[in-house]
Amino acid sequence: MIQVSIERLQMVLDASFSRETSGQPTMWRSDNSSYAHCGSAALVIQHCLGGSIVGAFLPPEWRRKLGIRSHTWNKLPNGQILDATRSQFPPGFPYKDLVDGRLGEMIQADDITEGLLANGPLAERFEILNARVKRTLLSSGLG
C-alpha cells in the first residue's frame, strides 16, 4: 500500500484518466474524464489504500443511456465507501440506489478483484493507469 490521502489520490487519478485508459474509448470525453474507468480506478485505489472492490450491474435502461453495463467502487479497510468515478454519472442518475443495492443487481462476491484482473483489456488499462498514478505520486514525494 502507498501512504497517500484519499483527496490526493483522487486528484492524481482525475489527472491520469484518458481515452487510452477508458473502457469505452470511443465514448470517452475530456469533460467526463472518469467515464468507463471504474474497474481500473478501483484496482488502483485498492493497490494504494487496500480494502475490497464491490460492484453492481446497471439495469437495462441505464445501460442503454450510459453505454456501460456495470459499475465498481471501493470499500476501504475502515469500511468507508470510495468511488473515484462517481462523477461519470449524469444528474438524475440514482447513484445512491445503485451502491445501496436497490438499483440493478449487485455483483455477488466479497471482492471482485480477481474477476477484474482476469479481464485482459481491463488489466492492461489498470497497468497503464497505475503506472501513471505511481509516477505522479513518486515525483511529488508521495508513495
Per-residue pLDDT reduced to its tens digit, 119-130: 999 999 999 999
Rounded CA-CA distance 102/42 in Å is: 21
At 59-113, the pLDDT tens digits run 999 999 999 999 999 999 999 999 999 999 999 999 999 999 999 999 987 779 9
DSSP 90: P
Which grid cell is 133?
A: 498514478
Task: Give the CB-side neighbour count of residue 34, counting CA atoms within 13 A.
Answer: 20
Model-wide pTM > 0.85: yes
For the chain, percent of residues with pLDDT exceeding 90? 90
State CA 55 to chain mean position distance: 10
Rounded CA-CA distance 60/51 in Å is: 29
Backbone angles phi, psi at 57, to 5 degrees: -85, 135
Q: Is the pLDDT of residue 143 over 60?
A: no
- Comparing CA positions, the residue from 4, 110, 108 lying closest to residue 47 is 4
* Helix (H), strand (E) counts: the chain: 6, 4
